Amino acid sequence: MNTKNYGINEIFNSPKDKQLNELYPQFEFEKYGIGVEDIKTEAERLLMQGNEAKENKGLFTVKTASRWIEQAKTRPIPKMLFGEFWFEGELCILFADTNLGKSILAVQIGNSISRCEQIVGFKLETPKQPILYFDFELSDKQFENRYSIKFKQHYSFDNNFIRVEINPDAVIPENQTFEGYLNHSLERSITETGAKVLIIDNITYLKNETEKAKDALPLMKHLKALKNKYGLSILALAHTPKRDLSKPITRNDLQGSKMLINFCDSSFSIGESHIDKNLRYLKQIKQRNTEQIYDAEYVCICQIAKPSNFLQFEFLNYGTEREHLIQISESEKSELENSIKELLQAEPGITAYTIAKRLCKDESKFNSFKVKVSRITNRISNSSNT
């Protein structure tokens, strides 16, 4: 190869290189083992860094729409982790009332991803990979019971399924709070396992007061920061308060402030069916990577079953949310409202809870009936005060 000194204009002679032509040093490439393409690549990198510095405006990143699209082209298209309910790179919230099977479904989803085995009825597009399941609900013995036949003939999980629980003997450093040390330990688990998929069961353990906006916001910011820092997909489980089972599920049913819904990428819920105590339905509440498919007119109907040694959701078909809600006729509504009015007039200081206790005909449905009575009582009280 002939030794030759190149001027910068001889290297950068295309129209897109005009910005670089202000530099005119001479380079002896063979002497330093540097090639023409190496110089061009490094110069383009420096130019890009300069552009990025100009685009950062304090809290904001300011770019033309075309540059945003060019940047997005370099990122992979999000793949489904659990059908259209949860995609790669999303912070997703799964919420439901107590004892409806959130943990059962979450373990099933984690197992599916760890083995690269699709759950019937729900697409899986990602390869086999490790997942971290933070279990703040069950003891190891309770977990064993769900995935065995009377503590024998245990289900064989793939080693990619990594279950995590709190170490009761762990000592919290004096200069840290429990929440701070929990977050530190969570991040350490991510870095040391290399897992890109996290399931947190449940989110209230990370922050006890998620019903308040001031507490929910830092929690969601922390999870989003972890997601962005390590390129994670996070499924966080949350509760709903006792709800009126005659009403459709909405984002307002998520326990706590709307801050949780506002800051997550997607969310879906498990609904209880009044048709059969073993039936559940799945409904999309929020989505960004797809259109809303599973709305009130098209929910996924499942049943909880344990055919052998694995407790799971079994997909049955599709249906409407309406058919699984408690149906109340107009005459029943009027009768209940009149009964509540009579009690309020007869006993002005009576509470909604006491009214519900007196009027409830089915103790097994008391919690949802109590919510309904409370709503009617508040409406009657507000109208009488105006």
Reported as a single tens digit per residue, the pLDDT across 46-88 is 666 666 667 777 778 888 888 878 877 877 788 999 999 999 9
Instruction: Inform me whether the pLDDT recorded for 149 exceeds 70.
Output: yes
**45-59, 108-122, 173-187, 366-380: least confident range:** 45-59
Instruction: Inform me whether the pLDDT recorded for 118 exceeds 90.
Output: yes
pLDDT value of position 36: 63
Mean of pLDDT values over 193-208: 86
User: Residue ranges of the alpha helices (H) in the chain?
Assistant: 8-11, 29-32, 36-55, 65-73, 102-115, 140-146, 178-193, 213-230, 259-263, 330-346, 352-359, 366-385
Q: Taking the model in full, what pTM does it have? A: 0.74
Q: Kindly indicate the confidence band of residue 3, based on its pLDDT and cuts at 50, 70 and 90.
A: very low
Distance of alpha carbon 283 from alpha carbon 319, whole angstroms? 11
**CA 248 → CA 134, 226, 271, 277, 283, distances in Å?**
30, 33, 9, 17, 10
Q: Kindly indicate the confidence band of residue 259, based on its pLDDT and cuts at 50, 70 and 90.
A: confident
Residues contacting 114, CB < 8 A, separation 6+: 128, 129, 130, 131, 157, 158, 160, 161
- Looking at residue 24, its amino acid is Y
Q: Kindly indicate the confidence band of residue 91, based on its pLDDT and cuts at 50, 70 and 90.
A: very high
Contact 185, 166 (CB under 8 A): no
pLDDT value of position 12: 52
